[in-house]
Amino acid sequence: MSLEFSKKLARHQTPIPGVVLYDLSVHGDNRGWFKENWQREKMVALGLPDFRPVQNNISYNEKAGTTRGIHAEPWDKFISVATGRIFGAWVDLREGPSFGTVFTAELDPSQAIFIPRGVGNAFQTLEDRTAYTYLVNDHWSADAQGQYTFLNLADETAAIQWPIPLAQAELSDKDKAHPRMADVAPMQAKKILVVGADGQLGKALRAQYDGAATVEFAGRGEFDLASADAFNTRRWKNYSTIVNAAAYTAVDAAESAEGRAAAWAINVTAVANLARTAVEHDLTLVHVSSDYVFDGTRDVHDEDEPLSPLGVYGQTKAAGDAVVGVVPRHYIVRTSWVIGEGNNFVRTMASLAARGIKPAVVNDQTGRLTFTEDIGAFISHLLTTEAPYGTYNFTNGGPVKSWADIASDVYELSGASRSDVTGVTTAEYFKNKAAAPRPHNSALDLAKAQSTGFHPADADERLTAYLKAETDNV
């Protein structure tokens, strides 16, 4: 008579964030057993990160009492036992509030455990001829060894209760020499790379992340997005996110032959390079889009509206959005009428007001201003809260206004008269001028952005503060 048995796949949380213990799906009878050691679809559905393993390693241990660790490596691991039993010990060696947290468990072939990057891993064999196997999501290299973090197996702070005392166990000399907890340099979190970091948004992101050790900034001179070589200079497994703050924004110049080529190179080809890198290395890609992807025939644009760009600039931004949309982990932040550090509409109007010039300003294009400090804060919010991936409209809040309305506000706040601004139609303003077509209605629906718990500041309040800061800096 055969003896049949089975065990269902299940997960168990541990005290260490991200470390999850699994009961594996095992089926057996009098002949032996069969288990699904790694089953991506089922395990991801159960909450295992889709960590994309690339290498499978096996450690065979001849004698019980063989003890290895504690090693924190710069990649994720999925650990199980092929034969025998182990006592596993894991210590959080990542920078942060959970640093030093310990979890231990005995593992037999029916169990597995997921260990995130930076969590120290150690085991002691409890039976002879134990085979310990693990999947990792980066290829081992000699260079990567320099990024390991180690902890001594006998550390008094961790106070791991080894079943076989370390004095009787089999240890390597290297493992015996690892530092105590007080001397451990915690492994830093994966880094965020901001490209296009010298523009208006890039400068705002520099301010947003000022002092953050895990955020890097690269301007055009430091990272050429059009160069394949630039993408080979970084170990991308050490990054979690790329924020693309680079863009070609010369709307009218984009209609020329030279401008058209430049717009496509920066807004599409470079974005494709970023998207390819994000897909290959499982990174989050944050990309900033524009109201120009719409034709402006709707009063308010939501995220589900089909793309319908009018001019070359809008077409390149729409194409960039389509490219970014294929990245599994992406945020497209769609903005309008951006104001930051550098040349912009508000500064121009303030300068005209100061010189007593009475301008004619378009009054049939409507929307809201978006201040770069708020775009930077919203991007940080999306990443910190791990909001659902996808496209988010984002501008400052408050009433929808025309460019002429905003110009009048600037004049009034600058001590000039609102009546100094004359409203004209787009057709009148651009008569006999080479100009790109523009959407007449640029108001973006902000409900989805607000659903993440972020509530953008009122545009009028930001405008007042912006002009005050400009005056104070004169």
What span, in angstroms and rounded, lies between the C-alpha atoms of 346 and 369? 10
The CA distances from residue 125 to 61, 83, 128, 158, 224, in Å, are 7, 11, 7, 19, 50
CA–CA distance, 103 with 97 (Å, rounded to integer): 16
CA distances from 242 to 17, 19, 79, 317 (A): 24, 25, 29, 18
Q: How many residues does the chain have?
A: 474
Q: Please, which residues have CB within 8 angstroms of residue 126's CB and are 6 or more apart in sequence?
A: 64, 84, 85, 86, 87, 106, 163, 164
- Name, in order, each residue with C-beta under 8 angstroms of 201's C-beta and a sequence gap of 6 or more: 245, 288, 338, 340, 372, 375, 376
Q: What is the DSSP letter of 214?
A: T
Residue 429 annotated to the active site: no
Supply 69's token pair. Answer: 């660790």
Give the closest residue to 250 by CA, choosing from 177, 155, 316: 316
267-276 burial code (b ≥16 CB/10 A, e <16): bbbbbebbbe
- Find how far residue 127's CA is from the centre of its chain: 43
Give the active site residue among 134, 239, 411, 429: 134
Token pair of 427 as six digits: 């057709």
Closest CA to 187 of 102, 278, 78, 100: 100
> Is-catalytic flag, 331?
no
CA distance 336 to 381: 19
Please give the backbone phi and psi of residue 345, each rounded to the nearest 5 degrees, phi first: -60, -45
In 3D, which of 201, 472, 203, 470 has the Cα closest to residue 351?
A: 470
Positions marked active-site:
71, 134
